[in-house]
Structure 1
């Protein structure tokens, strides 16, 4: 498997396939210096989704689900963007300039696509195709995290559920989480597909007509392994119940 992509629990037989587009902040040479960003930027949200991989790995174990994750920073290339989008290789992330991403040659863009973006999506396709061949149902869920404050505006949601046309997972998960009474749950907040953040789920979920959902957890909720474990323990039974609800009607 490509070194910029990791597949864990590939043979998992549960009803979910998990993906983590922004799992790592790793910048291999020469990008560790050529992007011209500070050490603080390299560990900030602009480089990755802190806490997302820990939750995704916990859910992979709890749900016996394959997990496909990136192993390089999204500042090199954002695997959750169409190849044609201007922010595929970001020159500006939130309010931070990424000088080393400006004026890239066609060869450099192609190198980065072939380093991480295309292998990531190929790996997801491979997992889904093999599960289909095995007769296993698949629902696709991506795990992300978001900042408590964005461009000066506070975000009240501890968790956001992002969906488009397919609400088979979003509706039961939203209902279950809201019923707890201790969470502020965003429905297409703090992002929605209209913000251009839905590429991976649209490609591998909606386009395949598979149940799908993008989960965003506020990153001050997943700062430690214990907090990641808490969210794993909270989400695993909720996702299981949602899958059972779907299975009671159409196949997952």
Structure 2
């Protein structure tokens, strides 16, 4: 299995609305299920690459619509998390996985140090450099970094009751406002650090780009059956636009 050229036919990261005026910076780490051709689908049948193990279905659609509504820059990845998960430390066991849920990933089974380093250099580093660049361009305003994800309604046979979850670390400046606003809808089951939490290792991007600088951040997880079509994507983007617009509006004394 060759490693050169690694991404001959695409860039590892894209930026939408780079000059957007919002204080918010949106990111979508699991936007793509793309696997470079020379990796031969990581040894998986093509239908497996359409499943959640390879990406977050619907997340990019929501993020793009929200970027337009908020006039916010959006940084998103163009490579599957099965190649390398940019939302993990490069040396984290979940960075390049050999087993996803119940699916073995043959193409990740016996990587050399050179192959691992190549994936990090070609996928992880450009993505995080792009996030740094966009944050640095916020004209001295303290940015809010918000990551858009989706998750499966059923995981390893267990049903997940939540429609949406908000993930956060000890800094709850954004998460508590998001949770409070979502809970105003009695029809929504809202998860607080559900179905994942930072202790699961899923908060790397937000942590890396906020905690050292005192910036605020949060992660949005939407159940993917709710954003499986354009109508669902638009509805959830509209919902978070209303919430975030209200959060950005100065409160009257």
For normalisation by structure 1, the TM-score amounts to 0.93
Moved over 6 A (4+): none
- Deviation string 1:143-165 (CA, Å, 9 cap, x unpaired) is 00000000111001110000001
1:52 aligned onto 2:59:
yes
Q: What is the rounded CA distance, in whole Å, between the counterparts of 2:32 and 2:210 in structure 1?
A: 23
Report the alpha carbon displacement of residue 207 of structure 1 after superposing the two structures with TM.
Answer: 2.6
| 1:70-219 alignment, distance < 5 Å | 70-131=77-138, 134-219=139-224
Aligned to 1:221, the other structure's residue is in SS state: helix
Match of 2:7 in 1: none
Q: Are the equivalent residues in 2 in contact too, given 1:13–1:136 (CA < 8 A)? A: no
Pairwise CA RMSD of aligned residues?
1.5
Say how many residue pairs are matched. Answer: 244
Q: What is the rounded CA distance, in whole Å, between the counterparts of 1:172 and 1:220 in structure 2?
A: 25
Structure 2 stretches lacking a partner, 5+ long: 1-9
Label 1:19 to 1:248 Cα distance change in 2 as closer, same or farther (>3 A). farther
1:24 aligned onto 2:28:
no
Q: What is the rounded CA distance, in whole Å, between the counterparts of 2:130 and 2:221 in structure 1?
A: 22
- Deviation string 1:154-178 (CA, Å, 9 cap, x unpaired) is 0011100000011111111111110
Aligned to 1:145, the other structure's residue is in SS state: strand
Q: What is the rounded CA distance, in whole Å, between the counterparts of 1:248 and 1:213 in structure 2?
A: 25
Larger helix proportion of the pair: 1
1:8 aligned onto 2:13:
no
Report the alpha carbon displacement of residue 49 of structure 1 after superposing the two structures with TM.
Answer: 0.2
- Out of 241, 244, 249, the position equivalent to 1:244 is 249
Match of 1:222 in 2: 227
Q: Which moved more, 1:105-114 or 1:44-53?
A: 105-114
- Deviation string 1:166-194 (CA, Å, 9 cap, x unpaired) is 11111111111101111000000000000
Q: Are the equivalent residues in 2 in contact too, given 1:165–1:206 (CA < 8 A)? A: no
- Deviation string 1:38-60 (CA, Å, 9 cap, x unpaired) is 12211000000000000000110
Report the alpha carbon displacement of residue 248 of structure 1 after superposing the two structures with TM.
Answer: 8.1
Structure 1 stretches lacking a partner, 5+ long: none
